[in-house]
A and B are shown apart, each in its own frame.
Chain A
Amino acid sequence: MAHRHNSHSKHHSFNGKNFAILPIIFCAGILAITYFTLLLPSASAFVSVGSLFFSDRTMDFSEEFNNIFVPVTDPPTESQTEKRKIPASEIEFPKQGEQFGEIIIKDCQIDARLFFGDDNIALNNGVGIYPGSSIPGYGKTILAAGHNNTYFNGLKYAKKGQKIEIKTSYGNFFYEITDIKIKDHTDASAYDLEADYENLILYTCYPFDELGLTPQRCFVYAKPAESNLEIDKKN
């Protein structure tokens, strides 16, 4: 009888402690290992492969894009003071998904292709401009996105006064960083797409080295240089 009581007691111990605690510890360990492993850049390839198996989204395997960017042969410099104006009819306005330039921020070690459109192909290959905004020279808001673990990781070095250069087939444009803000991705006050003056906004996920669905974004605001090329939109 004493033996049966002892056996029952052991059985109860398994259900109440080991059987519950073991899975919890195991799962916590798995999650911890997964989380810290994902922090390593070298793990991104494994994450991408893993997402093929577990994704509930339609995967786009295409990495092809059209490139209309041809660097200008005699680019103006930032120190040039003469204001230049060219008719829009001389410009090949990019179609969505096309690379039409490059963006360079030397102080942030950023040198990336610039696309019109910010779909996955664009962001996998460089920096993408939201098609509901505009492109350099048109006197409106330019809203550009880049991934925080690749092309825009360098935005963590951004400081006021630093220079941004955008090269396009129709000219080179220069901007100066005026502000840096961290905001929620749903915060519509982070940009003004109705602005009737040229302003450049770059953004990426924040924190910079965080992988995953972060709700915050780092916005870098910049104003154009006085000497920037101006597009005559009526001609």
Chain B
Amino acid sequence: MKKIVKVLSTAALAAVVTVSASTAAFAAGGINAAEQSILSELGTSVTMNGVVKTIPASYINQAENYFNTVEITEDQASAAVAAIEDAKAYLASAGVSAYSELSADQVNTFVSKVSAALSPLGLTLNYASADSITIVDANGNVVASKVGGTTGGTTAGGTTAGGTTAGGSTATDNPIKTTGADFNIPGIAVVAGVGIVIVSAAGVYVLKTSKSKNGAQA
């Protein structure tokens, strides 16, 4: 009897642990009210020198996708929303019509404000330039990135409130990728250049040989 009870207890404990573990793995799913407040804030526009700017849908979608993998609390969301508002206010008062017109100092200030918006969410912004931006989570996993503008450089529609956003997504990026073979134009240029040099050398050789023959015949 004792043995049966022990086996049942062990099985029950294993079941509880298993269910708890599986719940913990997927409990982050869904968009809660706190996360929705951040998405709503990202969806509002900012006016720079009379020009209305909105964050592209692709960035907001990335933020939403990220929120589907984590659980953001009200406190975290409040801090993030306040920082986003601060970053937007800075852009609105920067005296320029576009992010690209910001001075280096202004860019640094704006980047620090974006970092402040990401920090409560446990995210870190690594900003090397407008074309080299990465956002990573606490575990170092890349949440979003933009490197080198390799995808064409068009926006996802609409304009952006800057090169970066404060919702777990990053800079302007063309959703449409290069889906042909990895064909390398610089490589072809090098091959063509080497070919021209070889042929030129051959031409000089032929010319000299011909001259020598002519000289010998003379």
B residues touching A (Cβ–Cβ < 8 Å)?
25-32, 56-59, 61-62, 64-65, 68-69, 141-144, 148, 150, 152, 154-157, 169, 173-188, 190-192, 195-196, 199-200, 202-203, 206-207, 210-211, 214, 218
User: Would A90 and B29 be within 8 Å (CB), given that A31-B192, A96-B142 are in contact?
Assistant: yes
Contact with B along A76-106 (1 / 0, CB 8 A): 0000000000011111110110000000000
Q: Are B183 and A47 in contact (CB under 8 A)?
A: yes
Count of chain A residues with Cβ under 8 Å from any Cβ of B?
Answer: 72
Interchain CB contact (< 8 A) of A132 among B29, B61, B179? B61
Q: Which residue of A lies closest to B26 (CB)?
A: A92
Q: Are A146 and B141 in contact (CB under 8 A)?
A: no
Q: Are A50 and B187 in contact (CB under 8 A)?
A: yes
Please give the distance in Å from B185's CB to the nearest CB on chain A: 7
User: Would A194 and B57 be within 8 Å (CB), given that A44-B181, A133-B175 are in contact?
Assistant: yes
Contacts of A53 in B (CB 8 A): 187
Q: Which residue of A lies closest to B188 (CB)?
A: A34
Contacts of B192 in A (CB 8 A): 27, 30-31
Q: Which residue of A lies closest to B148 (CB)?
A: A57
Please give the distance in Å from A58's CB to the nearest CB on chain B: 9
Contacts of A31 in B (CB 8 A): 192
Q: Are A143 and B203 in contact (CB under 8 A)?
A: no
Contacts of A18 in B (CB 8 A): 203, 206
Q: Are B31 and A190 in contact (CB under 8 A)?
A: no
Please give the distance in Å from A198's CB to the nearest CB on chain B: 13
Contacts of B150 in A (CB 8 A): 57
Q: Are A55 and B184 in contact (CB under 8 A)?
A: yes
Contacts of A47 in B (CB 8 A): 181-184
Contacts of A27 in B (CB 8 A): 192, 195-196, 199
**Interface flag for A2 (CB, 8 Å):** no
Give the most central of B30, B152, B174: most A CB within 10 Å.
B30
Q: Are A51 and B184 in contact (CB under 8 A)?
A: yes
Contacts of B25 in A (CB 8 A): 92
Q: Which residue of A lies closest to B194 (CB)?
A: A30
Q: Which of A156-164, A209-217, A220-228 contacts B (4 or more CB under 8 A)?
A: A209-217
Contacts of B179 in A (CB 8 A): 123, 145-148, 152, 203-205, 217
How far does the alpha carbon of A22 sit from the alpha carbon of B175 in the complex, in Å?
A: 45
User: Would A205 and B203 be within 8 Å (CB), given that A38-B183, A132-B62 are in contact?
Assistant: no
How far does the alpha carbon of A213 sit from the alpha carbon of B194 in the complex, in Å?
A: 22
Please give the distance in Å from A18's CB to the nearest CB on chain B: 7
